[in-house]
């Protein structure tokens, strides 16, 4: 009798072969009840590979993120997917996205009891209703980890870079390396604590190191391309001698287009976050000068390590230091 294959298991479990492949190779993204069906079918057919013990049950780790259209959150999601493929098949890493501008919907997702969860990883903005939801599920015993930004200041471990230091680093580069001195502006998304921390560090550096360049203006772009582009164009018109720009958040591609189009765009020393195809190209052609990349892959790995430690699947204590952000210039590509 031939050995059972994915098609045999799929037929017995009532799922597709792609689902079987994802489950048996630990790729995540499969509902826990389907994972259980696949593993049970594989055992009944005596599938020739080691399978987890059924008495341990499924351990579902939920990862809730926002803005799937952005390169950063796509990188973060793919990192969780890749790491999930290395875990025990009974550890299910379920990734999903929600609307960052709907805190009530985010809170409902956090409070949901539709499926049991062994841990919750959040990359969502903070608000009173979201914080209250986080604190409630944590009080019920659910381990919570915040990635990139904190959804609650009171409970849950934070995995991310030192954002105050990132803002200070951006200010240092602009003040020391810009081709000319003059006004400096910044753009951020105010609903994120990490953006506020970056701007705080950026402003503090200029206050502590007064020079011919000074931080003059802050715009709230909401990480939206049109509004961020309009803000930058207005700043270029408002400050003819604009020396530096710091973008503490997203929408870099829109800012790059403005700087390419504007007659004085190449005179501005531009520091932003995250290495993407847009920022890489902008570094190479001199529109962008420094990229501070916050290594979402490292954040995903650390977040899962913390959850696995909290639920008793590993004895290894994860590093508690902030994730090191990476400074990238044209010469480092």
pLDDT at 196: 94
pLDDT digits (tens, 9 = 90+) for 296-327: 999 999 999 999 988 887 888 888 899 999 99
Task: Please give the pLDDT value at position 54.
Answer: 44
Please give the model's pTM, rounded to 2 decimal places: 0.79
**pLDDT tens digits, one per residue of 97-126:** 999 999 999 999 999 988 788 999 999 999
Is the pLDDT assigned to residue 255 strictly greater than 50? yes
Q: In the predicted model, is pLDDT for residue 44 greater than 70?
A: yes
Structure token pair of residue 167:
């803002």
Mean pLDDT (the chain, rounded): 91
Please give the average per-residue pLDDT across 63-72, as a whole number.
Answer: 92
Whether the per-residue pLDDT at 137 is higher than 60: the answer is yes
Is 220's pLDDT higher than 90? yes
pLDDT tens figures, 269-287? 999 999 999 999 999 999 9
Q: Which of the four pLDDT bands, split at 50, 70 and 90, describes residue 30?
A: low
Mean pLDDT within 147-157: 93
What's the rounded Cα separation, in Å, for the pair 107 and 218?
30
Checking if the pLDDT of 257 tops 90, the result is: yes
pLDDT at residue 81 in the model: 94
């Amino acid at each position: 009798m031939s050995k059972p294959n994915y098609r045999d298991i799929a037929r017995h479990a009532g799922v597709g072969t792609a689902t079987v492949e994802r489950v048996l190779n630990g790729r995540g993204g499969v509902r826990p009840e389907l994972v259980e069906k696949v593993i049970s079918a594989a055992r009944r057919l005596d599938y020739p590979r080691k399978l987890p013990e059924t008495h341990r049950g499924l351990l579902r780790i939920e990862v809730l993120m926002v803005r799937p259209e952005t390169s950063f959150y796509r990188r973060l999601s793919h990192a969780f997917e890749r790491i999930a493929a290395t875990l025990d098949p009974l550890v299910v890493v379920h990734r999903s996205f929600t609307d960052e501008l709907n805190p009530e919907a985010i809170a409902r997702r956090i409070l949901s009891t539709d499926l049991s969860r062994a841990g919750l990883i959040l990359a969502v903005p903070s608000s009173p209703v979201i914080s209250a939801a986080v604190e409630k599920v944590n009080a019920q015993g659910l381990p919570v980890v915040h990635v990139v930004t904190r959804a609650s200041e009171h409970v849950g471990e934070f995995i991310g870079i030192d954002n105050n230091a990132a803002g200070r680093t951006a200010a240092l580069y602009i003040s020391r390396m810009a081709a000319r001195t003059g006004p400096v502006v910044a753009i951020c998304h105010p609903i994120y604590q990490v953006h506020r921390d970056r701007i705080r560090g950026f402003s503090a550096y200029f206050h502590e190191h007064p020079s011919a360049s000074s931080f003059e203006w802050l715009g709230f772009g909401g990480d939206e391309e049109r509004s961020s582009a309009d803000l930058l164009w207005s700043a270029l018109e408002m400050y003819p001698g604009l020396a530096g720009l710091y973008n503490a958040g997203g929408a870099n591609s829109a800012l790059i287009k403005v700087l390419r189009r504007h007659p004085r765009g190449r005179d501005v020393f531009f520091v932003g976050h995250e290495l993407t195809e847009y920022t890489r190209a902008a570094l190479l052609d001199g529109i962008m000068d420094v990229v501070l990349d916050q290594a979402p892959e490292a954040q995903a790995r650390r977040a899962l390590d913390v959850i696995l430690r909290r639920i008793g699947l590993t004895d290894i204590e994860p590093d508690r230091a902030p994730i090191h952000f990476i400074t990238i210039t044209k010469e480092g590509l």
